[in-house]
Structure 1
Amino acid sequence: MPDVALDRPASERALDWVGMANIALPVRTRSATGEAMQVPARVDVHVDLRDPAARGIHMSRLYLRLQHAFAAEEMTPAGLARVLEALVETQAGLSRAARLVIRFDQLLLRPALASANAGWKAYPVEVRACVADGEVALHLAVDVDYSSTCPASAALSRQMGAEAFAQTFGNEGTVEVAAARDWLRSEAGLVATPHAQRSRAHVCVRLPQGLSSFPIVELVERTELALGTPVQTAVKREDEQAFAALNAHNLMFCEDAARRLAHALSTDRHVASFEVNVAHFESLHAHDAVASVTGDGGAR
């Protein structure tokens, strides 16, 4: 059969990257309890084309090499490095670099805040891996949703509440505790509420050499712990009340959220460097409030 890929190109030039995007593949990862899980993933694969006189790469070889690359065993940094080297080898001297982007959802069972319930939450994960002239670089990114209550709005709401309390009880001298409690519980006692919104942190870290596994669960949990108000799954009234208390104790602008995460990642031994992007999907404004920060991690 004819193979026009062997023809010389009309314009000779080396290419940075050639490949395929959005390939459907199974990937084996691990749950928070260490159990193996197979999840559907979407994968991008590219190699460089160093020979300017070569019309194209061996694309089908890349595709076939990936079909079972991550289904038989857990995806690990070492295993991913072997796959990258094998991708370069499939090109029979045309390439010296390869890269992969692997996207999937990590399902984690999250307990409720106060009740005995629990529910599954999906965390978008992206693994980026590249090998060039034998040097491997690995990046891990997760998206974590959380709630952010505006400190300025909280302060304004507290002021209105204090003024309403003074207007109601200011002439009574001594205020009965029961009367004050009943007033605070009534609709009259809630004169304003601070605005809050669902927010998202995109945390991308460069991984140090020598890790035996991808610290997906650890990165998610460190992110949620730093922010303090991760969105919930199973929620009863007692859980909703506990969530309201968490929001009150974790008032934050987007700048606060970015700094919290930078502080947490700067001491994380699984992190060589990091880039954080947070977005607060404003309920007050018709636009988002965003912040970004980069820095070195704790893997020194």
Structure 2
Amino acid sequence: MTALLPDIACQSTHLPVPLDWVGMQGIAVPLLIASERVAAFADAGVSLDDAEVRGIHMSRLYLALEALAETELSPVLLRDTLGQFLESHALLSRQASLTLRFELMLRRPALVSPLRGWKRYACEIHARREGDELTLDLHLALPYSSTCPCSAALARQLVQERFDLDFAGRALRAGEVRAWLGSPQGMVATPHSQRSEAQLRLRLDPAATEFPFNALIDHTEAALGTAVQTAVKRADEQAFALANGQNLMFCEDAARRLHRALMAREEVTGFEVRVVHAESLHAHDAVAVSRWRRA
């Protein structure tokens, strides 16, 4: 006869203090997104509200994560998974939470040519459930390019001064001016640009039936106008230069563009936008933050 194995976690503790969160972090889990397997890491846990109980049943949380590998990732799936967390800890826990970290790989087209390439987006999903109430937060990081409006104005002034120096007192023909503009003298100064990042923390409507990854990324990249590229030809590089010239942005401008764009999304009920411009002029970053919550 096999003796019953001791369950030390169920014993009473000599320090009766409730705990806000107990669980595991960094669990390797595969997710199913758009019918493709995506490698992810999960943090899974519950509150330990019964102060007399020594520990939770971590293996029950781990086993509940199996559903993530077999079912398309959705708010409904996360609600059910968190429900299993709570059911397996009845009388012990009132809250359950799950965080998923992964990289979303999207194939993006070039601006002009028929080329396409893969771009990665760092994603996090934070789900929390208490009773029937579900809270969903989606974090996205979007890389883009930003050209400083101030440096653009200063560069234009230097071009004007060089033009005055080269053509002072002369009557000019259009062809001569065009040739000068295409010469090194006509490009005496250029604005400075830098790779930048928009860090989006979005509160999603818990009634949503899916995670709109592609729609949100397309919408926010369109608002910025200067998403970084993948595979390009010279025509694409020229189009990218044009896009930067037509979308001169301080970090404040980028934050306001994203603020307005995200307010228009019905599935977004609140957000924090943080834009970081990794300055090419300075040794520090320029940062702007904007927050909003639907009334």
TM above 0.5: yes
Q: 1:259 Cα deviation (Å)?
A: 0.3
Aligned partner letter, 1:135:
E
**Could you give the per-residue CA deviations for residues 11-58 of structure 1, whole angstroms, max 9, x where no partner exists?**
21000001111111000112xxxxx21110111111000011111111
Structure 2, unaligned runs of 5 or more: none
User: In structure 1, what is the equivalent of residue 13 of structure 2?
Assistant: 9
The answer to whether 1:77 aligns with 2:48 is no
Q: In structure 1, what is the Cα distance between the partners aligned to 2:42 and 2:29?
A: 7
Distance in 1, Cα, partners of 2:83 & 2:203? 19
CA distance in 2 between counterparts of 1:209 and 1:43 reads: 20
Partner AA of 2:23 in structure 1: G
Write out aligned runs for 1:145-224 (5 A). Answer: 145-172=143-170, 174-224=171-221
Q: Which residue of 2 aligns with 1:33?
A: none
| Counterpart for residue 144 of structure 1 | 142
Letter in 1 for 2:118: W
- Residues 74-105 of structure 1 show CA distances to partners (whole Å, capped at 9, x for unaligned) of 01111110111101111242111101111111
Segment drifting more, 82-91 vs 175-184? 175-184
Structure 1 alignment gaps of length 5 or more: 31-35
TM-score (norm 2): 0.95
Question: CA–CA distance in 2 between the matches of 1:211 and 1:9?
Answer: 41
Matched to 1:5, the amino acid is A
Which letter does structure 2 place at the counterpart of 1:94?
L
The code of the aligned residue for 2:234 comes to: R
After the TM superposition, which residues 220-259 of structure 1 pair with which residues of structure 2 at under 5 Å, given as runs? 220-259=217-256
Give the CA RMSD over aligned residues.
1.2
- The alpha-carbon deviation at position 210 of structure 1 amounts to 2.3
Identity of matched residues, % = 49
Query: Deviation string for 1:236-279 (max 9, x for gaps)?
Result: 11100000000000000000000000001111111111111110
1-structure distance, mates of 2:18, 2:132:
20
Classify the secondary structure of the residue corresponding to 2:27. Answer: strand
**SS of residue in 1 equivalent to 2:70:** coil
Deviation at 1:134, TM superposition (A): 2.2
Distance 1:180 1:188 in 2: 11
Name the counterpart of 1:63. 62
Are 2:75 and 1:99 equivalent residues in the alignment?
no
CA deviations on 1:196-251 (whole Å, 9 max, x unpaired) are 10000011211113221111111111110110000000111110000000000000
Offset of residue 188 of structure 1: 1.6
Alignment correspondent of 1:112 = 110
Post-superposition Cα deviations, 1:150-195, rounded to whole Å, max 9, x if no partner, equal: 00000000000011011101221x2122222222212121111111
Counterpart CA distance in 2 for 1:241 and 1:144 is 22
Distance across 2 between alignment mates of 1:28 and 1:204: 22
Separation in 1 of the partners of 2:73 and 2:133? 19
Question: What code does the residue aligned with 1:2 have?
Answer: P
State the TM-score, normalizing by the size of structure 1.
0.94
2:15 corresponds to 1:18: no
Q: Which amino acid aligns with 2:284?
A: H
Match of 2:51 in 1: 52
Distance (Å, rounded) in 1 between the aligned partners of 2:256 and 2:106: 25
